[in-house]
C-alpha cells in the first residue's frame, strides 16, 4: 500500500468502521478522537432500532479489531486545528489535550473512591455528576481514567495520587501539538443534538420534565443515571403518559432546515422503552409526517403493535407546566380534525434533530456547507453524520465507501 497513512477524524461508529476497514486491507491509519474514549454517540444509546439490540456488542467487536491491529494508531482528546496540502499529500496539525492519566492506568477505580470533587457528566447530558477523575463509560476504549483538573476538591490530587498503586496520575502532562503527514483524510466527526434552549416555546431548561431524546436514551440505559429506569426528573416517578415532540428543531427554516432522518424512529423506539417498563404507559407522538423510510416501515408496525401509541398530526405550539404537579400541558392543533388539543402529560421528550458536531467551527482546509456538513472533496472524504443525518447502518456503509476512496488516493500517492 502507499507510503502515507490515512487520517480518520472522529472515533464514533463511522470513524471506527472506516479505520478498521482501511487497516484490515493493509493501510496505515491514524484515528483521532476529541473525547477521552472512542464510541461516539452510539455508546450513549440504550438500544439500536430496528432490532433493539444494545450497541455495546458492535462496539466491543470493533474495539477488539482496533486493539489487535498494529496498523491503527489511536489518539484521544485530539482535534484537528489545520489542514494543508492536496490529495495524496496532506499536513495536518492536531492538538492533543492532557489526560493527566498515563498508560499505567488499569481502571481499578481506587482513585475515584477517594476523590471528592465532582463534575457534571456530559456523557449523561447533565442528568448526573461524575467524580473529577472518572472513566468515560464502563466499556470505554482506551480503558483509562481521565482527570478534570478544574473539578478537583482541595486535597483531591494528593489523595488520588496516594490511592493509585500504578503511578498512573501525571498532573504535569501538557497540551501537545502534533503534525501528521497523511495521504487522505476521512472526516467522521458526526453530530451533536440541536440546542434545545433555542426552541423557546417547548420549555426545555425551564420545565424539569421536558427532556431530550438523548436524555431519554441515558435514562433507559442500565449504566445511566437511573440504572435503566425511565423516571421523570422532578420526582423520580415512572411517567404514565409521555408526549414526544417530533421535528424539534428539524425541518424548520429558523433552526435546522433539513429532516434529521432518525428522530421518528428514535421516538418509536422510546415508546417501546416505555412499554418495556410499563405496558400501560401511553405515548403521544406529535408529528408533521412520520418518516420510517424503506424497510423501517416494519419497525413502525412493530411499535404500533407493542406500545400504546397515539399519533397526533400537528406541530406543538407550546408547552406549559403545572407548577404543583410538574405535569406538562401540551398545546397543538390536530391538523386532521382541525381541533385544538391541550394534553396533560407527565413528561415530554423533544425529538431533537442532529446538527453536525463541527457546525459553527472553522477548520482551515476543510470545506463545509451552510449547515456544517462536509463537502465531498477528492482527498477529504466525509462519512456518517458528518456528511448528513444518518442511521448507524448507513453511516457504516458510507464509512466503508470512504475507506475505499481513501485507499485509492494513498495508492495513487
Ligand atoms: C435520540 C437518537 C437515537 C438514535 N438511535 C439510533 C438507533 O437506534 N439506531 C440507529 O441506527 N441510529 C440511531 N441514531 C443515529 C446514530 O446516533 C448515528 O447514526 C451515529 O451516531 C452516527 O455515527 P457517527 O460516527 O457518524 O457520529 P458520532 O456518533 O457523532 O461520532 C462522531 C465522533 O467524532 C468525534 N468528534 C467530533 N468532533 C470532533 C473533532 N473536531 N475532532 C475529533 N473528533 C471529533 C465525536 O466525539 C464522536 O466520537 C440515533 C440518534 C439519535 C439522536
- Residue 170 maps to a domain: no
Q: What is the mean pLDDT of residues 98-112?
A: 98
Q: What is the pLDDT of residues 9-37, one digit of tens each?
A: 999 999 999 999 999 999 999 999 999 99
CA distance 382 to 156: 42
- Residue 169 maps to a domain: no
- Residue 292 maps to a domain: yes
Confidence of residue 2 (pLDDT cuts 50, 70, 90): low
Kindly state if the Cβ of 10 falls inside 6 Å of ligand 1: yes
Pairing, β 191-193 against β 354-356? antiparallel
What is the side-by-side order of every strand in the sheet holding 380-382?
72-75, 29-32, 6-9, 184-187, 380-382
Q: How many domains does the chain have?
A: 3
Burial 341-369 (b: 16+ CB within 10 A, else e): bebebbbbbbbbbbbbbbeeeebebbebe
Q: What is the pLDDT of residues 355-408, one digit of tens each?
A: 999 999 999 999 999 999 998 888 999 999 999 999 999 999 999 999 999 999
CA 325 – ligand 1 centroid, Å: 35
Question: For residue 265, what is the enclosing H or E element?
Answer: helix 263-277
Looking at the fold, whether 256 and 395 belong to one and the same domain comes out as no
Pairing, β 133-134 against β 146-147? antiparallel
Kindly state if the Cβ of 191 falls inside 6 Å of ligand 1: yes
Kindly state if the Cβ of 384 falls inside 6 Å of ligand 1: yes
Q: Which atom of ligand 1 is nearest to the CA of 41?
A: 29
Q: Which atom of ligand 1 is nearest to the CA of 35?
A: 47
- Residue 1 maps to a domain: no
Q: What is the pLDDT of residues 244-259, one digit of tens each?
A: 999 999 999 999 999 9
CA distance 407 to 413: 10
Looking at the fold, whether 228 and 371 belong to one and the same domain comes out as no
Looking at the fold, whether 250 and 363 belong to one and the same domain comes out as no
CA distances from 275 to 211, 218, 283 (A): 18, 17, 9
CA 391 – ligand 1 centroid, Å: 9
CA 31 – ligand 1 centroid, Å: 16
- Residue 22 maps to a domain: yes
Kindly state if the Cβ of 189 falls inside 6 Å of ligand 1: yes
Cβ atoms of 42 and 15 within 8 Å: the answer is: no
Q: Structural domain of residue 262, as residue ranges?
A: 195-354
Looking at the fold, whether 399 and 330 belong to one and the same domain comes out as no
pLDDT score of 1 more than 80: no
Other C-beta atoms closer than 10 Å to the C-beta of 222 total: 12
Amino acid at each position: 500500500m502507499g507510503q502515507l497513512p490515512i487520517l480518520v477524524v472522529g472515533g464514533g461508529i463511522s470513524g471506527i468502521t472506516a479505520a478498521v476497514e482501511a487497516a484490515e486491507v493493509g493501510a496505515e491509519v491514524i484515528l483521532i478522537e476529541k473525547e477521552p474514549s472512542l464510541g461516539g454517540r452510539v455508546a450513549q444509546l440504550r438500544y439500536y432500532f430496528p432490532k433493539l439490540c444494545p450497541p455495546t456488542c458492535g462496539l466491543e467487536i470493533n474495539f477488539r479489531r482496533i486493539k489487535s491491529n498494529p496498523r491503527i494508531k489511536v489518539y484521544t482528546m485530539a482535534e484537528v486545528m489545520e489542514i494543508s496540502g492536496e490529495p495524496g499529500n496532506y499536513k495536518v496539525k492536531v492538538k492533543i489535550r492532557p489526560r493527566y492519566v498515563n498508560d499505567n492506568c488499569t481502571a481499578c477505580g481506587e482513585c475515584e473512591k477517594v476523590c471528592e470533587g465532582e463534575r457534571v457528566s456530559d456523557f449523561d447530558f447533565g442528568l448526573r455528576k461524575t467524580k473529577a477523575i472518572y472513566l468515560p463509560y464502563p466499556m470505554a476504549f482506551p480503558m483509562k481514567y481521565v482527570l478534570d483538573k478544574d473539578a478537583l476538591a482541595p486535597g483531591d490530587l494528593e489523595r488520588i495520587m496516594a490511592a493509585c498503586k500504578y503511578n498512573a496520575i501525571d498532573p504535569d502532562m501538557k497540551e501537545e501539538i502534533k503534525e501528521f503527514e497523511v495521504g487522505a483524510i476521512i472526516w467522521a466527526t458526526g453530530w451533536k443534538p440541536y440546542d434545545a434552549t433555542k426552541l423557546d416555546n417547548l420549555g426545555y431548561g425551564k420545565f424539569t420534565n421536558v427532556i431530550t431524546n438523548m436524555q431519554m436514551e441515558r435514562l433507559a440505559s442500565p449504566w445511566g443515571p437511573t440504572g435503566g429506569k425511565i423516571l421523570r426528573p422532578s420526582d423520580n416517578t415512572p411517567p404514565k403518559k409521555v408526549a414526544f415532540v417530533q421535528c424539534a428543531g428539524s425541518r424548520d427554516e429558523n433552526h435546522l432546515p433539513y429532516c434529521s432522518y432518525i428522530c421518528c424512529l428514535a421516538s418509536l423506539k422510546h415508546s417501546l422503552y416505555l412499554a418495556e417498563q410499563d405496558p400501560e404507559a401511553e405515548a403521544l407522538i406529535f408529528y408533521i409526517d412520520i418518516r420510517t423510510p424503506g424497510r423501517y416501515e416494519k419497525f413502525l408496525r412493530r411499535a404500533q403493535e407493542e406500545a400504546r401509541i397515539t399519533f397526533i398530526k400537528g406541530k406543538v405550539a407550546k408547552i406549559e407546566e403545572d407548577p404543583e404537579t410538574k405535569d406538562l400541558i401540551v398545546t397543538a392543533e390536530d391538523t386532521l380534525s382541525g381541533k385544538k388539543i391541550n394534553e396533560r402529560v407527565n413528561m415530554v421528550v423533544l425529538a431533537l434533530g442532529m446538527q453536525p458536531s463541527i457546525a459553527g467551527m472553522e477548520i482551515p482546509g476543510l470545506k463545509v456547507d451552510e449547515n456544517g456538513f462536509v463537502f465531498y472533496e477528492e482527498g477529504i472524504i466525509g462519512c456518517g453524520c458528518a456528511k448528513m443525518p444518518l442511521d448507524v447502518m448507513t453511516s457504516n456503509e458510507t464509512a466503508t465507501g470512504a475507506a475505499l476512496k481513501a485507499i485509492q488516493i494513498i495508492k495513487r500517492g
